[in-house]
Amino acid sequence: MKIVKATYLISSPSFDLCPKLNLPEYAFIGRSNVGKSSIINALCQQKNLAKTSGTPGKTQLINHFEIISNSVAKGKQDKWYIVDLPGYGFAKSSFHKRKDWAPLLEEYFAKRQALKAVVIFMDIRHPLKDSDRDMIELCNKSDTAFIPVLTKSDKLSNNQKHKAISAVNRQMQGVEAIAVSSKDIVGFDKLSRAILEFTGAPISTSGM
């Protein structure tokens, strides 16, 4: 899969105000400062598509990006959406301080018919923290597919990287983690293939 166009669409302050779309979407989420925005930019080959910041909790809205990609395997062009969700782990905004954050996410995962999978980003040096496990449990509870992605793989040696991936995989119950680096542009082919497995035809949006 090759992304040929990526465009910012809209920012929403809450899940109930997200646009009702009829194409597949993928929720990107992770601990604050895990490098999610840099990964989105690298995946879409645009430097400033998603804003990056050294300040944890900078993303405070639910951001939709429209993606157009070419699928060599399918021999056609696909249109889908990346949904950039606020990071967890810091309380830098009223959005993060809301006590109903988990129930809102669970409702979004369960009822958002356009949602194909949740891409969970974790720092490869510190994966599977309690908040990451909570996010995985939310996905399992709502029967939502998820893709575990280990960021900043350039920070480890190859041996350390393989050990980290193996350690995470042993706890993923058959779901394999993908290691990526926005600095070295590594792992994006695997991430693209993982997304491609879920990308399909337009779907009904009678739910949220």
- pLDDT at position 198 is 78
3-state secondary structure 62-124: EEEEEEEEEECCCCEEEEEEEEECCCECCCCCHHHHCCCHHHHHHHHHHHCCCEEEEEEEEEC
- pLDDT at position 50 is 87
Please compute, for residue 140, the number of CA atoms within 13 A of its CA located in the half-sphere on the CB side. Answer: 11
The reply to whether 206 falls in a domain is no
The predicted-structure confidence for 175-190, as pLDDT tens digits, reads as follows 999 999 999 999 999 9
Sequence length of the chain is 208
- Number of folded domains in the chain? 1
Banded model confidence at residue 204, pLDDT cuts 50, 70, 90: very low
CATH assignment at residue 41: 3.40.50.300
pTM score above 0.95: no
Q: Which two tokens stand for residue 167?
A: 């350690």
The reply to whether 126 falls in a domain is yes
Provide, rounded to the nearest whole percent, the portion of the chain with pLDDT above 90: 53
The reply to whether 12 falls in a domain is yes
| Domain extent for 159 | 2-16+24-198
Q: Which two tokens stand for residue 105?
A: 């996410």
Burial class (CB in 10 A: 0-12, 13-18, 19+), 128: middle
The reply to whether 85 falls in a domain is yes
Provide, rounded to the nearest whole percent, the portion of the chain with pLDDT above 70: 83
The predicted-structure confidence for 9-55, as pLDDT tens digits, reads as follows 999 988 888 988 888 999 999 998 899 999 999 999 998 898 765 54
The predicted-structure confidence for 137-152, as pLDDT tens digits, reads as follows 999 999 999 999 999 9
- CA gyration radius, the chain: 16
The reply to whether 205 falls in a domain is no
If we measure between CA atoms, which residue out of 23, 176, 27 comes closest to residue 108?
27
Banded model confidence at residue 75, pLDDT cuts 50, 70, 90: low
The reply to whether 119 falls in a domain is yes
If we measure between CA atoms, which residue out of 105, 33, 25, 111 comes closest to residue 64?
25
The reply to whether 204 falls in a domain is no
Helix (H) or strand (E) holding 10, with range, is strand 2-12
The reply to whether 32 falls in a domain is yes
Contacts of 206 (CB under 8 A, 6+ apart): 113
